[in-house]
Structure 1
Amino acid sequence: MRFDDASNESGEDIGSRQVLGTLLTICYRIRKLRWIAIATLNRLDALPPELTRVGRFDEIFYVGFPQAIERKEILMMHLAQLDERYKNDNVLTEKEWRIILNKTVNCTGAELAQMVEKTARCSFRAASRSLFYQGREMQIGLGELLEQRSLMVPLYVRDTDRILAIENRAKYICQPASSTDTSEFAPVITSFWGER
Structure 2
Amino acid sequence: MEEALFAWFMDLRAKNSIPVNGDLLQQKACSFACLLGDNEFKASPGFGTLGPETAEAGPDCASAVHEDEDAWEHLRSVDEVPTGISFSDYVNADANAVTTEVLTDADMLRLVGSVEGVTAEDAADDAAGAEAPVPTPGQVMDALDLLRHFAGAHEGTEDPLDALQTYEKSVRPLLTKRTQAKITDFFGGK
TM-score, normalising length: structure 2: 0.24
TM-score, normalising length: structure 1: 0.23
Higher relative contact order (CA 8 A, sep 6+): 1
Higher Cα radius of gyration: 2
